Each structure stands twice: as C-alpha cells, then as structure tokens.
Chains A and B, each alone.
Chain A
Amino acid sequence: MNILEVRNLRKYYATQKAVDDISFTLNAGSIFGLLGPNGAGKTTLIRMITGIFYPDEGEILFNGRKFNPQTDILQTGYMPEERGLYKKMKIGEQAIYLAQLKGMSKADATAKVKEWFIRFEMQTWWNKKVEDLSKGMQQKLQFVTTVLHEPKLIILDEPFSGLDPVNANLIKDEIYRLAKNGASIIFSTHRMEQVEEICDHIILVNKGQKILDGTVKQVKQQFKEHLFRISLEEKAAAVSSPAFDVISTQENDLIVKIHEGNKPNDVLQYFLQQQHSIVAFQEILPSLNEIFIRLVENTPLARQFEKITA
C-alpha cells in the first residue's frame, strides 16, 4: 500500500518554479531517496508534504486519503536540514515538549523519551541543556525527537551531517529498524554512497522537475554503459573483436565496452578461444554519484531567477 502519493505538485514563487509538476509514490515500509542539487526544490517539496506550505496545484494523498495537515502531520516526523532546538531548555523536557506538540500525552511522551534515551545511552543527559551538548549529541537528540511519536512517515533531511561514523551507524541501524517496523522514510541528501546503501527507491529532482524515478537497481541498469571488467591470469596481447572495444588496460585487467547487439558471453567466448585463463568477469555499473553528476552537470549550477507568469 502507498503511504504517500504525490500527484502533479506545483509551487511557484515570484521568481522561481520551485516545484514544477512532480509526482511520485512511496510504499509503506520503504526507504525513499529524494535527491537533487542545491536549490532543486527539495525543501519546498518536503515543506508541502509536511503541511508547512500549501501547494499551488496538485494533490497529496496520505494513507490513500487526501492529505489533511491538521491530523496527518501528527503521523509525520520531520527533521529539517537546518535543525535546531531550544538552547536553554533541558533536554528531557524539550523532548517531551516536542512529542506533546505531536499529540502525545505527557505520560506517554515521558515514557517514550526514557525508552529512547536508554536505547541511545543518553540517560545522563536528561537535565543538561542543549547548549552543553556537542554538535553530534545534538544531532542524536534531534533524531530522537523526530521519531519519538512513532510516525508512519519520517522525513530526514541530511540526517548524517555532523555525525562520526559510529553514531552515523547507530542512526542508520535505527532507520532500518524503523522501516522494518512499518515506517516509511524519505531520505533527502547529496551523499550518494549513503543513498546507494540505504534507499530502496529514489527520485532525482532538478530545477523543480523530476528527472529520474526508480529503484536503485533500475536506475543503474538504465544508465549502464555496457562496461565489463575482465581479469586474466597473464597479460593479453593484441585484443581485437567485432563484439567489443577495449577501453583501458590495467596490468592483467581489461575494461571492455560491449557493442550493441552483443552479449557478455561473446567477450568470454573470445578470451576462451584465445586460450586465456579468466580469473574474474564482472559488469561495471555506474555509481549513483556518476549518474547524478551526468544528469545535473549539463544544467547551470546556480538556478537563475526568472520571471514567472502562471
């Protein structure tokens, strides 16, 4: 079932089409990557999903019904990229306060906060103030306050920035655990290696428009260049075949590009016929990073301000 369905969403500002006709669906329990360069319209898109902005056009379906900001945001947890907490407020109270604003009773909130603090080994922080915490500790606290009320939809904007690898792993494991327990997660970032690792499904947004949509596997297949790496026991002499070209040679390894209409088997066949003993043969798929750069590169880095007549 779809927890979230976005249809033809538009939001225009005076000088920019921030979000221009974006649609996507998000399955319950999946981790969804929302990618895009700076200023692509990600934050505006997220703000519409979290009920902060009203869309100019289009509709949002939450749990199959029309999105109602009043009630549905209680089932949403949002951790913005530019995050913050009350600096002078005690940590325990602050977490309870934010959970109460998400509709929890004080008793429930207190119990939940204690549970999470134990899980993240933060019990001794309770009476500390936020200003006494390091940036990484603040980040952990922020994550806890985002997921405390057991939201069905969790939106995380750059959740790992400022975290050391140990704490980043802690958060990552929590994200997996939450997804396994049925929460859907929208994960917005520029860090492609994390997306590849974590996300089931991605969309890429640029200049307010969706330019890519699919599972990580599908996307990689879509952008593959038919490159293979073949490792041989000895260096191969002159290689020439109508089925493929050699792109580069590296000691005993060759990287080959298979021509259209040919198959990987043709490559193997050629080397077998040449009496080479093959150690390894592997397809080289483009990384998301490469795909991202390839798609975004041809557009000017900074969005230009334009006159909108709509």
Chain B
Amino acid sequence: MNKTWIIIQREFLSRVRKKTFLLSTILLPILLAGVYAGMIYFSVKGNDEVKIAVSDKANIFQNELKNNDDISFTFLNDLSAKQLEDSVRAKKYTGYLYIPENINLATDSLNIKSVKSIGLFSSEKIKGRINSALREKKLLALVSRSQLDSAQRNANFTISRLDGNNKPDKAITVYAVGFGSGMIIYIVLLIYGTMVMRGVMEEKTNRIAEVIVSSVKPFQLMMGKIIGIGAVGLLQFLIWIVLTLVLKGVIFSGMDSSPMGQQIPAEGAAAFFSALSSVNIPLILGCFIFYFLGGYLLYSSLFAAVGTAVDEDPQAAQGLMLPITMPIIFAIMIMIKAVNDPNSSLAVFGSIFPLTSPVVMIARIAHGVPEGVSVAEILISMALLIVGFLGTTWVAGKIYRTGILMYGKKITWKEMWKWAFRKN
C-alpha cells in the first residue's frame, strides 16, 4: 500500500475521532450564525425606547408628530413646564419639550430636557422628526396640501439591463452568499493552515520526524499530513451542507403543518431559501470546493514549511507566520470590495492572483456568470491557482526536508529561502 495513503489515513482518523471535531463541527456554524444574528439584531434594535412628553402651548404641531417603536411623542398641552418636569423625574417619560405660547420660531430654540442624556441616534431622529414637521407646517402656510404632495412625490424609477434580463432584485442575497463564502474560505484557510503547522511542529518537537523520515520520504510525510487534514475540512463542509439541506426540508415541511403563530419565522427562513435559489447554487458550490481545496493546498504547504522552522518556541511561530497571513488578510479586504463591485480592476486582479483568488473569486462568482465574472477569467484563475499550489508545495517540500531535522538553531526566512532554491 502506498505510504502516503497510510499517513493520510492516520492524519484524518486521529482528528475525526477526537471529540473536538464533533464539537467544532456543531458549534462553529452556531457560533457564526449567532454572531451574525447578534450583529443584525443590535443594528436594527440598538436603541432604547424614547418617550417625549410635549406641552405645545403655541399649538405649532397641532398634536401631530410621527410616532414609532423607538420614539414616541405624547401631547399634554394642559400641563405646565413644572408638571412635565415632575413626570419626567417620576420616569413616566424620557424627556419633555415645552413650547411657550409666545414662542418665536425664528429666534427662540426648542429645548428637550431629560434626566439622562439621550443617545446620539435617538436625538438625531428626534431632531429630524421635529424639523420635518415644522417644515411641513411652514410649507402648508404657503401652498395647499395637494400641491405639497405632488411636489414631494418621487418619480417612478427602475434600473434595468440592456439585455433585458431583469430578474427580481437579488443584490442582498448575492452579497450575503458572496461575502459568506469568501469569509468561510478565509476562516477555513487560517484554521486548517495553522492545524497543519501545529501538526508539523508536533512531529518536530516530539522528535518523531526522524523516525518517520527513515521510513518515508519527507515529501510523502508532508503531503500525507496536508491531504489528511484537508479531508477533515472537506468532511466538515459536507456535514454542514447536509445539515443545511435537512434544515431546509424541516422548515418547508413545518410550514404546511405549523399553527399560525409559528409561521412568521418559518416564512422568513423560507424567503431566505427561495432568494437563495435565485443564485446559481451548483456553480457556487463547485467553485467553492475548488477554491477551498486550491487555496488550502497553496497555503497549507507554506504553513507546513513554517512549522519546520519553529523549534519549541511558539513566539517564533507568530513572527514567521506573518508573511503568510498577510496575503490572506489582503484577500479578505479585496473580497469586501469585490462583493460590491465585482468588475473593478482590484477585484479582477485579486480574483486571478493565486494568493488571493481563493477568497476573492467566490465573491465575484456569487454575482453570476457573466455578470460578475467571465468564464475565461474563472479558467485563468483556476489554472493559476493550480500552478500556484504546485509551486508552493515544491518550494515548501524543499524547506520542509531540511527544517524537519534541524534542531537547536533559530531558523530565519533568509535560511528557508536558501534551502528552497539550492540545488539537489
């Protein structure tokens, strides 16, 4: 039996059998979903409810100010400023606005008083509400209601493409799919890359490397480790995909039978899934797996090379890792741009250059072919990625061969460079 295959099996099984594998497979999506849900929740419902008591003695607003969940105005025109202040102190209201009968809007200022300070967003909203109400009152003094309405009405406005292919608005889904996929590849490259690095460091510091390279070639050991850990990552993805499909099935079947009260979240999820179907799922999934594997092979061999240079000092690992993590971080920055504007020159470059393409290209592909990216560009990018990982694997193999048996010596990038390009 091929020895690389034996090594792959060990690397794969020793990780999959651990409890941490199961735990991370379940917890990682929950954690990610939780973080995103939290972000959305707090950005939508970030503010506390603000209640303002208004005593409008001058009757400027005629008991009309728009209320919503965040900010509400209550008209208590009979009360004096003193009474309003008392009710604010009694915490019935957040603040109060007292408008004296003889106010001159041209010179006097309106003053909202509160016990605690009101947040920046809320106070901006309050200001906007009051100003637009005032503006409308002033305009109504000049023109009739119907004239005002016709002046303020927006023009009918649509954006369409020359080829007449006007699908329903899918921008948000495209954004979510592109950004999400790019982000997952980015996280996975880092997680599995460092896993490879740690594995190599373990073999080196445990001194088992010398035993093993007296049985197999160092290159076989390195490839076995990389492929084995890559298979763990792939298995994790497959589990996630299956779980997503199961979840989808449960939600759709649940929708028919569930009582009325349950329907709202189910409808939200169903809407998400049906929006998802406006994106070319098989294409994205296929490319996702290709770019995940390509990017993983490219980076993990570099991580493996760095692992051989580390000798029992995790601090040194940080320093040596930096040149490898830099391009990944650049890639995520380019990806954020590409998701908004898939055909910008930066996005095109980033999606073809092999060190960034695994993260960037998927964001362009989410926009579809040929809107986001041309077939030719995908093929060039894929070819370059293959050339790229063959190149890094070759270079890393040479560094690995020397570094894995080198002890008691601090290894620098300069030395690794020398090992990589010397003859034999």
Number of cross-chain contacts by CB at 8 Å = 63
> Is A97 touching B10 in the complex (CB atoms < 8 A)?
yes
Q: Answer yes or no: B383 CB below 8 A from chain A CBs.
A: no
Contacts of A82 in B (CB 8 A): 207, 210, 407
A97-B211 contact, Cβ under 8 Å, with A82-B407, A84-B206, A86-B206? no
CB distance from B109 to the nearest CB of A (A): 71
| Interface residues, chain B, with chain A CB atoms under 8 Å away | 1, 3, 6-7, 10, 14, 202, 206-216, 405, 407, 424
List residues of chain B with CB within 8 A of the CB of A84. 206-211
Give B299 Cβ to nearest chain A Cβ, in Å. 24
Q: Which of B202, B206, B211, B405 has a CB less than 8 Å from the CB of A98?
A: B211
Closest to B6 in A: A100
Interface string of A69-87 (1 = CB under 8 A from B): 0000110101110111111
| A166 interface residue per 8 A CB criterion | no
Provide 11 A-B residue pairs closer than 8 Å at the C-beta atoms, listed in order of the A residue.
A51-B214, A73-B214, A78-B210, A80-B210, A80-B211, A80-B214, A82-B407, A83-B211, A98-B211, A98-B212, A101-B6
Chain A interface residues toward B at CB < 8 A: 47, 50-52, 54, 73-74, 76, 78-80, 82-89, 97-98, 100-103, 105, 142, 145
Chain B residue numbers with a CB within 8 Å of A83 are 207-208, 210-211
Most chain A CB within 10 A, of B7, B10, B407, is at: B10
Instruction: Give the CA-CA distance A103 to B211 in the complex, in Å.
Output: 14
Given contacts A88-B14, A101-B216, contact A52 B210 (CB under 8 A): yes
CA A79 to CA B6, docked complex, whole Å: 21
Judge whether A101 and B208 touch: CB under 8 Å.
no
Interface of A is mostly: loop
Cβ of B257 to closest chain A Cβ, rounded Å = 48
- The residue in chain B whose Cβ has the minimal distance to the Cβ of A56 is B424
Taking the nearest CB of chain B, how far is it from the CB of A273, in angstroms? 64
- Chain B residue contacts of A47, Cβ below 8 A: 405
Chain A residues near B210 (CB-CB < 8 A): 52, 78, 80, 82-84
Write out the residue numbers on chain A whose beta carbons fall within 8 Å of the beta carbon of B6: 97, 100-101
Instruction: With A73-B214, A101-B6 as known contacts, state yes or no: A52 contacts B206, CB within 8 Å.
Output: no
Nearest CB on A from B4, distance (A): 10
Q: How far is the CA of A8 from the CA of B14 in the complex (A)?
A: 44
> Which B residues touch A102, using CB under 8 A?
215
